[in-house]
Amino acid sequence: MSSWIVVAALACYSPLSGQIFRPPLPPAPSAQAAPRPAAPPKIERTDPPPPGIVLVRGIHQQREGEKYRLRQNAELETAEYLLQADEIDYDQETGIAEARGAVRFVNFQSGERLWADRADYNLNDKSGTFYKVRGSIAGKIDPRPGILTSGNPFLFRGEWAEQDGKRYTLHKGTITNCEGINPWWTLTAPVIDIIPNERALAYKSFMRLRRIPLLYAPVFYKDLSTHPRRSGFLTPNFGNSNRRGLMFGMGYFWAINRSYDVTYRPQYFTQRGLAQTVDFRGKPTDTSDFNAYIYGVNDKGLLQEDGSRLKQGGYIVAVQGKAQLGAGFYARGVFNYLSNFAFRQAFTESFNEAVFSEVNSTINVSRDWSTFHLNAVMSRLDNFQSAAAGDTILIRKLPQLEFDSRDREINQHGLPVWVSWGSSAGLVRRDQPLFQTRQFVERFDVEPRVMTALRWKEFHLVPAFSIRETHYGSSFRTKDEMTGGEQVTGDNLNRFSREFSAELVMPSLVRIFNAPRWLGSKVKHSIEPRASFRAVSGVDHFQRTIRFDEMELLSNTSEADVSVVNRLWAKAPDGQVRDFLSWEVRQRRFFDPMFGGALAAGQRNVLLSSASLTAYAFIDQPRNYSPVISTMRVTPRPAFGVEWRNDYDPLRGKMTNSSLTADARLDRYFFSVGHSRVSCVPLGSTAVYRPDMCSSQSDTKVLAPASNQLRGMIGLGQENKRGWNAGFMAVYDFAASSMQYANTQITYNTDCCAFSGQYRLFHFGTRNENQFRVALVIANIGSFGTLRRQERLF
């Protein structure tokens, strides 16, 4: 562990909690050679004496046999050490040196430096005592997110210090890494035991902030090695919440061995119950690793006005891993499980996680060679429709085997021809409140594809043709076949589709202009037109197909796309060229407005023809054209970008969807703003907004639920920038007329530590909570407080 490990804490003066900052696991054991430890920070010098030789210097020297009396600028220098003082009495036979007055000691091997009033040192066994001592030891910089870094060494002082080989024992000592006579923080203890580049121990220690006691612990431990691995208790934490009550917690880190460790953190909420966290990491081999995280709350329930309790307990499991399996095979996996959505909304500390209703798990075993890709996949998708129990859509693939090939040229003479294919075979399942399939539904799919390319001058035509056969072991019943409300039948369904596509790439129109001074020396403008055509036939039973993924969105269609891209490139006086502006306008024409019978009028339709064009649904009735899709990106300067995406629907006569984002950083200043708006469009209506329908109808009566949200973030500072840093982030919902989330953070960074305070507001669903969190970050050590690194703005 790179943070301080507290064996036991007896008192705490403020509601602080120790945060866990664990370094990556060290490389797994290798049968060939053990890894070499990192070299200590040596002090370089010129012309050192040979090993075993002691150089004796002094303005006034007196020798009596093996004894030396050195006065004024006295020095003893070996290959490892340098001892300087006003006066030194040295016995060459015993190796004992007595130094008095302005004593200075340097260890060239491990880098520490000491100053003392006097010292008794034995050069033979490398031991000694220093009185009224102060010194410095090189600190280990740990450049990880959330850890303040500093090049300052650790500074210490004490009544006396004993050295025995590499080990220093400081009595009545103080240690810090702050500069100046009045350091921001200090750690004082009767005994501080230090082995440079290995570890530091402080017994019966007090951590003080500007001389104010902050934390007491019988034993403080700090690992100074390259790969810190030490079991121990973590700093306890205390806090308060209006929804959870008083919070008490602690933790234990168990370094099982150099390849595995476990962290266990229990926390008790007086109003809600016991929360527990387990984090298990491992690196079994050089090419494999995993991380398993479990968090759960045994909730007593949120007290309601009528005296009842609303229980929102549950747990989450998150596992990530990867491994090289040999013979070119590799495995990647992400497993996530959420017991219920109400638990996530009540106990998560992230706004994005709280409002995200999907839980995905995917495990892949794959191999790539030549143009081929072989993949075995197991996946599970839980889509929570609401916080109500059972209101979930489950889609599972267990397992599915995929064998694909990207474009492979088979004719290099005359007309070029490329061949590719995609194929899959697997067992799938879908479970939701309205219907369920059986546990394992077989699905087979194969699609060979052939493509060529024609060129005339600067015109390129790329036609392609594919056939696709898909087999399902289950299907929906038609309305005439439906009996007793049963929707799913075990009858097989076969789909044989044919697809032809052609893309025409036309020559770009380019012109170069003189640029205004603020833009550069030259501006290049290009207009890039494109057109494509796509026709699909053979999908005759679209309404009977059970949807498991995008494969089932395929429908009969005959459509053409037209797009135009305008680009501006700016050339700076130094010759650097950057993409200043790009604007793409695209629309799709449908020659079959019923999509071969797949369209169901009066309801929201999601087809491959619409989903591949825009993320927003727009088909609820027969139509011959899509909305006009516009995407504009502007980069006025390297650290400033704006993007605007919008859909203009000619059928409704207005812009139906819009998404705008802007991000910029200028020195220490940064800001990010985003606005997203989805119009309320009643099903079957050509009006964009009708108050009589949008204000009273449910989401099933509109093409898309209305949404109008603004998010923004503005700040000053950087994680390791000295001085004041501040940031503000918020999400405002105009439809609900409420601030759903707000986060304000103020941080002050010194040369050795940082102080952070953060206020957060949660206001969505059933959660209305205010939080105030603080943290003290010690450079190169860790963080203490209730503000965790993943919750910070910077």
Q: Are strands 782-785 and 767-778 parallel, antiparallel or unpaired?
A: antiparallel
pLDDT at 745: 94
In terms of Cβ atoms closer than 10 Å to its own Cβ (0-12, 13-18, 19+), residue 367 is middle
Q: Which amino acid is at 542?
A: F
What burial letters (b/e) apply to 4-14, b meaning 16+ CB within 10 Å? bbbeebeebee
pLDDT at 222: 79
List, in sequence order, every residue forming a beta bridge with 513; answer none if it has no partner: 523
Residue found by looking up tokens 């019966």 in the block:
204
Q: What is the 3-state secondary structure (H, E, C) of 624-644?
A: CECCEEEEEEEEEECCEEEEE
Closest CA relative to residue 707, chosen from 685, 730, 683, 736 = 736
CB 785 within 8 A of CB 17: yes
Closest CA relative to residue 619, chosen from 641, 652, 660 = 652
From CA 187, how far away is CA 427, in angstroms rounded?
61
* Residue 751 counted as domain residue: yes
Q: Mean pLDDT, consecutive 10-residue segments, the chain of 794 residues?
A: 38 33 48 41 75 91 91 92 94 93 91 93 93 87 66 90 92 91 92 87 90 85 72 77 83 90 93 94 94 95 86 94 95 96 87 86 96 96 89 93 95 88 96 92 97 93 97 87 72 95 96 84 92 97 93 96 95 83 97 94 92 92 95 91 96 91 92 93 68 58 86 88 91 91 93 89 83 83 74 76
CATH of residue 101's domain is 2.60.450.10
pLDDT at 141: 67
Cα atoms found within 13 Å of the Cα of residue 598, Cβ hemisphere only: 27
Supply the range of the domain harboring residue 726. Answer: 717-791
Q: Where are the alpha helices (DSSP H) in 294-402?
A: 341-347, 351-355
* Residue 163 counted as domain residue: yes
* Residue 696 counted as domain residue: no
CB 630 within 8 A of CB 585: yes
Using DSSP's 3-state secondary structure scheme, residue 661 falls into strand
Number of domains observed in the structure of the chain:
2
Closest CA relative to residue 215, chosen from 785, 787, 786 = 785
- 401: tokens are 């085997």
**Of the candidates 175, 207, 225, which is a domain's last residue?**
225
Which run of H or E residues covers position 609?
A: helix 608-611
From CA 509, how far away is CA 458, in angstroms rounded?
11
DSSP string, 464-515: EEEEEEEEES-EEPPTTT--TT--EE---EEEEEEEEEEEEEPPPEEEEEEP
pLDDT at 483: 62
* Residue 126 counted as domain residue: yes
From CA 709, how far away is CA 351, in angstroms rounded?
14
Which run of H or E residues covers position 485?
A: none
* Residue 764 counted as domain residue: yes
From CA 512, how far away is CA 515, in angstroms rounded?
9
Q: Which amino acid is at 142?
A: D
Q: What is the 3-state secondary structure (H, E, C) of 100-136?
A: EEEEEEEECCCCCEEEEEEEEEECCCCEEEEEEEEEE
From CA 220, how far away is CA 289, in angstroms rounded?
30
CB 716 within 8 A of CB 667: no
- 173: tokens are 């000592």
Cα atoms found within 13 Å of the Cα of residue 551, Cβ hemisphere only: 22
CB 68 within 8 A of CB 97: no
From CA 272, how far away is CA 295, in angstroms rounded?
15
CB 321 within 8 A of CB 290: yes
From CA 751, how far away is CA 151, in angstroms rounded?
9
* Residue 691 counted as domain residue: no
What's the start-to-end Cα distance of the chain, in Å? 23
What burial letters (b/e) apply to 436-466, b meaning 16+ CB within 10 Å? ebeeebebebebebbbeeeeeeeeeebebeb
CB 222 within 8 A of CB 199: yes
* Residue 149 counted as domain residue: yes
pLDDT at 767: 82
**Of the candidates 174, 197, 225, which is a domain's last residue?**
225
pLDDT at 244: 84
Q: State the virtual CA torsion across 676, 682, 684, 685 in degrees, nearest 10.
A: -90
CB-based contacts of 305, cutoff 8 Å, min separation 6: none
From CA 464, how far away is CA 326, in angstroms rounded?
37
For the chain, the residue count is 794
From CA 78, how far away is CA 51, in angstroms rounded?
7
- 774: tokens are 């603080």
Tell me the torsion sign for CA atoms 240, 244, 250, 254: negative
Using DSSP's 3-state secondary structure scheme, residue 732 falls into strand
From CA 650, how far away is CA 306, in angstroms rounded?
53
CA gyration radius for the chain? 35
pLDDT at 350: 80
pLDDT at 699: 59
CB-based contacts of 4, cutoff 8 Å, min separation 6: 18, 220, 221, 222, 235, 781, 782
| Cis? peptide before 399, omega within 30° of 0 | yes
From CA 629, how far away is CA 647, in angstroms rounded?
5
**Of the candidates 183, 199, 225, which is a domain's last residue?**
225
From CA 148, how far away is CA 184, in angstroms rounded?
14
CB 17 within 8 A of CB 4: no
From CA 446, how far away is CA 549, in angstroms rounded?
16
Using DSSP's 3-state secondary structure scheme, residue 387 falls into coil
Q: Are strands 417-432 and 435-436 parallel, antiparallel or unpaired?
A: antiparallel
Closest CA relative to residue 653, chosen from 691, 679, 622, 692 = 679
Using DSSP's 3-state secondary structure scheme, residue 552 falls into helix
Own/partner contacts of 369-373, CB < 8 Å, gap of 24 or more, are 369/328, 370/408, 371/405, 371/406, 371/407, 371/408, 371/420, 372/403, 372/404, 372/405, 373/402, 373/403, 373/404, 373/405, 373/406
CB-based contacts of 737, cutoff 8 Å, min separation 6: none
Give the chain's largest Cα–Cα span: 119
CB 704 within 8 A of CB 692: no
* Residue 310 counted as domain residue: no
CB-based contacts of 1, cutoff 8 Å, min separation 6: 20, 21, 22, 223, 228, 229, 230, 232, 253, 255
DSSP state of 53: -
- 467: tokens are 């056939």
From CA 317, how far away is CA 110, in angstroms rounded?
44
